[in-house]
Chains A and B, each alone.
Chain A
Amino acid sequence: MSDQDHDDTVAPARREFLECMAWAGAGALWLMKGGVANAITLPAGAKGGAAEAKDATFSFVQISDSHIGFHKAPNPDPVASLRETIAHINAQRQRPDFIVHTGDLTHLSRPEQFDTVAELLKEAKTGQVFFIPGEHDVIGDNGKAFFARFGGGVSGGGWHSFDHHGVHFVALINVLNLQAGGLGFLGSEQLAWLRQDLAGLSASTPIVVFAHMPMWSLYPAWGWGTQDSARALTLLRRFGSVTVLNGHIHQIQRKVEGQVTFYTARSTAYPQPAPGVGPAPGPLQSVPPGQLHRYLGSRDVRHVRGGEAIAVTDVALG
């Protein structure tokens, strides 16, 4: 499978609801041919009918870059847009098993900003909410305040993994110990942990990786990448289905590398320019009046038990 780059930085002009379906894994071609309905078909020989197939799937939602504490153009009220995003998630037919926030919860790591995020996410109708830090969440204290609130008691550097319905989830931290002139950074300790964490898993285990900064060299001039992500990719390459979900750049970019698909996500606060368009990253100033909601949103991720496929749907706020 050759590498493909896909970017989706232009807000939808043609209709209010943007849906971008993408599939990862060895079963990709078959499932795309069959369409969404085929995604919930159990493999031959499996017990149960359509009802059991329906119960066999689960979904979760990714949100990112809420930047609570930001208050300028193009969005003076990221609290409101985060609240709207949660209401939008709550209004969906299927309740997600959990929500993951891939970082930059706050703009300046201030206690009241963390408070606000925690309070707002309590409004979400879901089983659990997981948070990983962005570089805006670890200002001045190497993430001490973030991990105290949202670390879930995980020891060590904050990285951890869990299993859910046969899918192995890995949360990586790539916003600490950043070096001058560098990009995101995982570090040897975290990579050694990852090697040991993945070692016992069969190659057919679907893997989903969360990390704030992009795990591929998307645009290094703007810091959009992770210095040592290649070492992590070496460990992940043997698996049949790997989905990497990142944030940081406030827009959707996608890359396919063999059986690994990378996605960055929209922010719930404000968009950023496409790579290299303009002098620097930062809040996009050219959002047409009244159009902000087209650039913000969440991501629904659905898994089908029995297959390796992960279905990703990006949902704009407006």
Chain B
Amino acid sequence: MTLRSLLFFALALTSPVLMSAAPPAHVASAYHVDIRNFHFLPARLTVPAGAQVTWTNRDEEPHIVVSAGGQFPSSPGLDTGDSYHATFSKPGTYAYFCSIHPQMVGTIVVQ
């Protein structure tokens, strides 16, 4: 699978509303983390450099996404249904957690 068709495939899976559209040359938010039942799902997400990741809070409690090493800006308090985007331009491993419920941890791996 070429990178382009792989990206389109990922986009189609996560954004059904765009299925009928032609794939854009540069993908915006193809990568999603759901915050559900006090977990980041998936807990470990691998993305290409330059990707934008969107976190969406599905819980009835607010959550905040905070980089463990201060490597990307913290989200505001996310109420139910709120989303937050961060773009990862440099390869590396980015550990993060919820600063209200610090037992919630996740990782973005940028390749």
Contact = CB atoms under 8 A, between A and B. Distances in A.
Interface of A: 72-73, 107-109, 135-136, 139-140, 178-183, 220-223, 279-283
Interface stretch (B20-28, B60-68, B84-92): B60-68
Contacts of B37: 279-280, 282
**Which 9 pairs across A and B sit closest by C-beta, in order of nearness?**
A180-B97, A280-B38, A280-B37, A223-B103, A178-B102, A279-B37, A180-B68, A139-B77, A282-B61
B62 A136 contact: yes
Nearest to B96: A180
B38 A182 contact: no
B77 A140 contact: yes
A72 B102 contact: no
A11 B50 CA distance: 52
Interface string B39-81: 1000000000000000000011110101010000010110110
Contacts of A72: 60, 80
B105 A109 contact: no
Nearest to B79: A108
Given A72-B80, A135-B99, A183-B102, 6 more contacts: A181-B102, A221-B103, A281-B38, A281-B61, A282-B38, A282-B59
8 contacts: A108-B79, A135-B99, A139-B77, A140-B64, A178-B102, A180-B97, A220-B103, A280-B37
A281 B38 CA distance: 8
A132 B110 CA distance: 40
A220 B38 CA distance: 13
Q: Which of B37, B59, B102 has the most CB of A within 10 A?
A: B102
A160 B66 CA distance: 29
Nearest to B101: A223
B100 interface: yes
Nearest to A107: B62
Given A139-B77, A282-B61, A181 B105 contact: yes
B7 interface: no
For chain B, give the interface size range: 20 to 34
B76 to A, nearest CB: 6
A294 to B, nearest CB: 20
Nearest to A281: B38
Contacts of B61: 281-283
Nearest to A72: B60
Nearest to A108: B77
Contacts of A282: 37-38, 59-61
A69 B61 CA distance: 11
A318 B61 CA distance: 25
Nearest to A283: B60
B95 interface: yes
Contacts of A182: 102-103
A220 B62 CA distance: 19
B39 A280 contact: yes
Contacts of B74: 140
A116 B65 CA distance: 27
Contacts of A136: 62, 100
B20 to A, nearest CB: 35
A110 to B, nearest CB: 9
A253 B28 CA distance: 47
A179 B38 contact: no
Nearest to B59: A282
Contacts of A221: 103
Nearest to B62: A108
A308 B57 CA distance: 47
A115 B54 CA distance: 33
B38 A135 contact: no
A109 B100 CA distance: 12
Contacts of B105: 180-181
